[in-house]
Amino acid sequence: MTTLDSLEVEDRGDGIVVVTINRPEKLNALSPDVIADLHGAAELLAERTDLRVVILTGAGRAFVAGADIAAMAGFSPNEAHAFGRAGHAALDALSALPVPVIAAVNGFALGGGLELALACDLIYASEKAKFGLPEVTLGIIPGFGGTQRLGRVIGWQAARELVFTGATISAQKAQTLGLAVEIFAPEALLDGVLEIARAIAARGPLAIRAAKDVMRRGSELPLDEANQLEQGGFSGLWESTDRLEGMTAFLEKRAAAFTGE
């Protein structure tokens, strides 16, 4: 296990890494130092060729309860702009990891916490999880991508309602909106997400990386251009050893032994 000032980074085998934001006394609030640690962890993980899945969660009763308001309250406009820029850079680095990033939302995911979850590829939630973007109750707006990413996940009308009201919603409501994929009992959340991560890690790693890449880039393109992107990703895997092994294993009715080559 690697311990940063505010994070624990733990290898769980099979190329799966669990990153835990470990500031429970502050409900894992995103201070400038936490944001710097997240960015640094993402950069280190991006260098790992053995990486298959990243799980992001929080220690204690919160995923991330928001940005650190005590740290923000005295910002000048220039300092606020720099803080927002740093938050965007850290979340973009996590989102850009070449493997699936899963948010295991164990508790409060409010403000910057929801924005952090939205930077992940998949969101799973504890029954006790709470989601929201309450920034307007402080006289500000989301600053780490919430006004842009939320609408792309749940649709713009539902996103506007959450942003404009600053409301907090339950895990069940989040699932209904398509924000959370599945809900687990609190004590079963991490084990349940690890089981999903292991299923992903058992698939062809080059195929998983290619799928994430074309889905991520294609989501911002017109359909015809996105389909061309998919065609390149599809054919580009044909020379890989994994593609040959996967198809041979299928024909021989055995489990594939992927190597990531």
Which positions are catalytic? 115, 135
Residue tagged 């298959």 (tokens): 52
Task: Name the residue type at position 49.
Answer: T
Q: Are 118 and 139 in contact (CB under 8 A)?
A: no
What is the spatial distance between Cα 16 and Cα 105, in angstroms, rounded to a whole number? 17
Alpha-carbon gap, residue 79 to 89, rounded angstroms: 15
State both tokens at 245.
Answer: 């092994």
CB neighbours of residue 81 within 10 Å: 12
Using DSSP, state whether 151 is helix, strand or coil: helix
For residue 168, the 8-state DSSP code is E
Give the residues across from 53 on adjacent strands.
16
Mode of pairing for the β-strands spanning 130-132 and 168-170: antiparallel
